[in-house]
Amino acid sequence: MSPFQLTRTLAADAAGADLRADVLHGLNRSPKELPPKWFYDARGSDLFEEITRLPEYYPTRAEREILVERAPEIAAATGARTLVELGSGSSEKTRFLIDALLPGLDSYVPVDVSESALTGAAESLLAERPELRVHALVADFTRGLALPGTPGPRLVAFLGGTIGNLLPVERSTFLRSVRAMLTPGDALLLGTDLVKDEATLTAAYDDAAGVTAAFNKNVLSVIDRELGADFDPDAFDHVAVWDREREWIEMRLRARRALTVKIPELDLVVPFAAGEEMRTEVSAKFRQAGVRAELAEAGLDLDRWWTDSGGRFALSLATAR
């Protein structure tokens, strides 16, 4: 059997159909909004990689610190023979887990909407670890997921604090769908950014070099390219706001002047008032008690909780009942 398999569960035109639906729905709302997944075309992915190296953006470094220190402990606690990673991307941080789980690890199952990211990561991993088997899934994990028939116990990893991009009702649905993938004794490793002082949080999403601003505005370029729209990114300002009540950061785009955007693919004309803001991302921050409660509601028990040395970020290990 080949050490690399790839299964596609997304239709070839699924991304285009989803983009059209999200833009039509989001720009007809009041206030307007767009989901953050449309940041990540090739340029957006490159910009995000640049963001992770910025001095203000601590989550990537903090999570890596935990993984480097705790991967052997995670491996010992789970004994996983299959590692599933949701939203795997380049699988860079996952290498610490894979190496800790080997030689008992049978299969790595990366899940991502980008086939090129999956194949690139698999080639790199297998070149360094020929004993590993990789079964990649081109899939949207937010829609539920059927995993391949790999051996248990399974460890599902959802890293990077990406769960914070989901609204509370979406998080509940997502965690229940993860629980449905698992059998008792399987585990979830969840990355969550933690509540901290407002200055640190807002700086992480509004860096001095303007990289996050370019990343935020890139969603407009995606819509222009894919749907024939005439957004002018320079007509919008990047805004990052801490919502104390909901304990999340909101990224927004604020119209510098009154303007009208035409989107021919949708037969849509969208007016913006001067100063009108459109939400492009929510990034929730968490506390241990809240994470425990959300996991419990989904049928998962929080067993281990690790933070980096600065207490900025946490990895939770939860087992399926």
- Alpha-carbon Rg for the chain in angstroms: 20
Helix (H, G, I), strand (E, B) or coil at 114: coil
Q: What six digits make up the tokens of 65?
A: 């610190």
Which pLDDT band holds residue 93 (cuts at 50, 70, 90)? confident
Three-class SS of 198-264: HHHHHHHCCCCCCHHHHHHHHHHHHHHHHHCCCCCHHHEEEEEEEECCCCEEEEEEEECCCEEEEEH
Which pLDDT band holds residue 147 (cuts at 50, 70, 90)? confident
Q: Do the beta carbons of residue 255 and residue 274 sit within 8 Å? A: yes
Best CA proximity match to 155, nearest among 107, 194, 89, 90: 107
Which pLDDT band holds residue 236 (cuts at 50, 70, 90)? very high
Which pLDDT band holds residue 249 (cuts at 50, 70, 90)? very high
Beta bridge partner(s), residue 155: 83, 187
Full-model pTM: 0.93
Cα–Cα dist 318/182, whole Å: 11
Examine the pLDDT at 266 and tell me if it is beyond 80.
yes
Cα–Cα dist 182/310, whole Å: 32
Examine the pLDDT at 1 and tell me if it is beyond 80.
no
Q: What six digits make up the tokens of 54?
A: 């910025």
Which pLDDT band holds residue 53 (cuts at 50, 70, 90)? very high
Of the listed ranges 15-24, 56-65, 186-195, the least confidently predicted one is: 15-24
Examine the pLDDT at 297 and tell me if it is beyond 60.
yes
Cα–Cα dist 38/56, whole Å: 23
Examine the pLDDT at 274 and tell me if it is beyond 90.
yes
Of the ranges 40-44, 119-123, 219-223, the best mean pLDDT one? 219-223
Q: Do the beta carbons of residue 193 and residue 283 sit within 8 Å? A: yes
Which pLDDT band holds residue 105 (cuts at 50, 70, 90)? very high
pLDDT of 184 reads 92
Best CA proximity match to 162, nearest among 89, 268, 81: 89
Examine the pLDDT at 140 and tell me if it is beyond 90.
no
* 141 or 276, higher pLDDT: 276
Examine the pLDDT at 199 and tell me if it is beyond 80.
yes
For the chain, how many helices (H) and strands (E)? Answer: 9, 13
Examine the pLDDT at 190 and tell me if it is beyond 70.
yes
Cα–Cα dist 75/105, whole Å: 9
Neighbours of 29 (CB within 10 A): 11
C-alpha 315: how far from chain center: 15
The upper half-sphere exposure of residue 259, i.e. CA atoms within 13 Å in the direction of its Cβ, equals 16
pLDDT of 12 reads 63
Q: What six digits make up the tokens of 311?
A: 């207490």
Neighbours of 273 (CB within 10 A): 10
Query: Torsions phi, psi of 195, nearest 5?
Result: -60, 135
pLDDT of 16 reads 84
C-alpha 23: how far from chain center: 20
Examine the pLDDT at 151 and tell me if it is beyond 70.
yes
pLDDT of 88 reads 85
Cα–Cα dist 237/253, whole Å: 6
pLDDT, tens digit, for every residue of 64-78? 999 999 999 999 999
Sign of CA dihedral 29, 30, 34, 36: negative
pLDDT of 163 reads 97
Of the ranges 5-9, 111-115, 130-134, the best mean pLDDT one? 130-134
* 12 or 27, higher pLDDT: 27
Which is it for strands 259-263 and 268-272: parallel, antiparallel or unpaired?
antiparallel
Q: What angle do CA 304, 245, 29 make, to 5 degrees?
A: 110
Examine the pLDDT at 158 and tell me if it is beyond 70.
yes
C-alpha 37: how far from chain center: 8
Across the chain, mean pLDDT equals 94
Cα–Cα dist 63/70, whole Å: 10
Examine the pLDDT at 293 and tell me if it is beyond 60.
yes
Beta bridge partner(s), residue 307: 314
Examine the pLDDT at 40 and tell me if it is beyond 90.
no
Q: Do the beta carbons of residue 107 and residue 137 sit within 8 Å? A: no
